[in-house]
Chain A
């Protein structure tokens, strides 16, 4: 059970901000929100993660709502190379060890 809901696909114009939403209404208090992306079946690439506060790094920003039931990943200036499947992950699996990957959002950045 991935415990997250993401749109199946999204389009974004090159140079514009890409805003990828994620719903995680059953998140527990100590669960972080992680974002990964996967390009052309390469290894999943870590983007950003956060617990309560908004986070920003060189790749993206993460906005987490105050009730922590949803979040948004923001790519401020999308490029063609950002075309990928983006995974929002909030939970470990039943074994308590590993992330549960849902189907993710396929982001297409269009020229």
Chain B
């Protein structure tokens, strides 16, 4: 049981490049989400999904796209990287919407845009 797995762990991009951060969970969780965390700040929600085929925007969605073609995978795409997107990105999953269910986080993907 690997939990929530994110790749890559580190990435450097040039401004204007695009890339995809991968996220996979093996717990058959319905809910998955992406957060970003800037230095000294809390986590902010980018996009989330309540199940395969369903996605929605969070607090800071601009510049990012997501899709959820399977229960297991929830990739985050940066369309045209900007220096403001330099951050640590965390993927998370949760069994379902019941309030007693814990959220599990991946180890993070460190992205630098130069």
Q: Scoring A residues 33 to 45 as 1 if CB is less than 8 Å from chain B, else 0, what string do you get?
A: 0100000011111
Contact call A51/B97, Cβ cutoff below 8 A: no
User: A68 at the A/B interface (Cβ < 8 Å)?
Assistant: no
Distance (whole angstroms) from the CB of B1 to the closest CB of chain A: 15
Q: How large is the interface on A (under 10, 10 to 19, 20 to 34, 35 or more residues)?
A: 20 to 34
Determine chain B's interface SS by DSSP, over half rule: strand
User: B75 at the A/B interface (Cβ < 8 Å)?
Assistant: no
Contact call A98/B45, Cβ cutoff below 8 A: yes
Contact call B88/A41, Cβ cutoff below 8 A: yes
Q: Which of A51, A99, A102, A104 contacts B103 (CB 8 A)?
A: A99
Q: Which residues of A contact B85 (CB under 8 A)?
A: none
Contact call A44/B105, Cβ cutoff below 8 A: yes
Distance (whole angstroms) from the CB of A68 to the closest CB of chain B: 13
Q: How large is the interface on B (under 10, 10 to 19, 20 to 34, 35 or more residues)?
A: 20 to 34
CA distance A2 to B97 in the complex (A): 18
Contact call B104/A46, Cβ cutoff below 8 A: yes
Contacting A at CB under 8 A, from B86-114, are 88, 90, 92, 97, 99-100, 102-108
Contact call B90/A30, Cβ cutoff below 8 A: no
Q: Which of B31, B42, B48, B108 contacts A43 (CB 8 A)?
A: B108
Closest to A85 in B: B42
User: B67 at the A/B interface (Cβ < 8 Å)?
Assistant: no
Q: Scoring A residues 94 to 105 as 1 if CB is less than 8 Å from chain B, else 0, what string do you get?
A: 011111011110
User: A11 at the A/B interface (Cβ < 8 Å)?
Assistant: no
Q: Which residues of B contact A93 (CB under 8 A)?
A: 45, 58-59
Distance (whole angstroms) from the CB of A28 to the closest CB of chain B: 10
Most buried by B among A51, A87, A97, A104: A97
Contact call A42/B102, Cβ cutoff below 8 A: no
Q: Which residues of B contact A41 (CB under 8 A)?
A: 37, 88, 108
Can you add 7 more A-B contacts, CB < 8 Å, to A101-B42, A101-B43, A102-B42? A42-B108, A43-B4, A51-B100, A97-B33, A98-B103, A101-B35, A103-B41
